[in-house]
Amino acid sequence: MDSIGKYIRERRTAKHLSMRELAENTGISHTEIYRIEAGIREYPSIRILTALAKALEIPDHVALQLAGYKSEDDGNMPLIEKIFPELKTEKLRSTAQKIIDLLVKYSDDLDDSDYEGLIEHMEMFWEYTRRKRKKVG
């Protein structure tokens, strides 16, 4: 399988589900499912991937591999460089990996407003860190 969209479409049709039915089962809009299946949305969020994986009975790691979040080589090694090419050091990649692992682990507990709040807090943290580094340096 060469893309997450094709795989999702095949699993959905094999389960005799329409896009609308899958949308109802996952809480994801049918237009977002269409975008994923059509290849328009190349990197769906981890929350969306895990919701689709659960509804279609796909192991999370398979969905993450097909979407490019994890390497096919070892199944557990994320392609941080592909997703975040600006992370040049192992320390930065390791930190990003920890954040991704936590998001995957707790994604069922978070709704869209939780994710938006989390992103807002992360942006505030990064801005604070940048300012602090400028004062020190």
CATH code where residue 92 lies: 1.10.260.40
- Please give the tally of structural domains in the chain: 1
> 108: which 2 tokens?
């069922």
Give this prediction's pTM: 0.55
pLDDT digits (tens, 9 = 90+) for 53-104: 999 999 887 888 888 776 555 444 445 665 666 777 888 877 877 777 777 6
Alpha-helical (H) ranges within 15-111 are 19-26, 30-38, 46-56, 60-66, 80-83, 90-106
User: CB within 8 A of 2, min separation 6: which ones?
Assistant: none
> 78: which 2 tokens?
């994320």
pLDDT digits (tens, 9 = 90+) for 101-137: 777 666 667 677 777 777 777 778 778 777 777 777 6
pLDDT of residue 91: 84
Q: Domain range for residue 58?
A: 4-136
The single-letter code of the amino acid at 18 is S
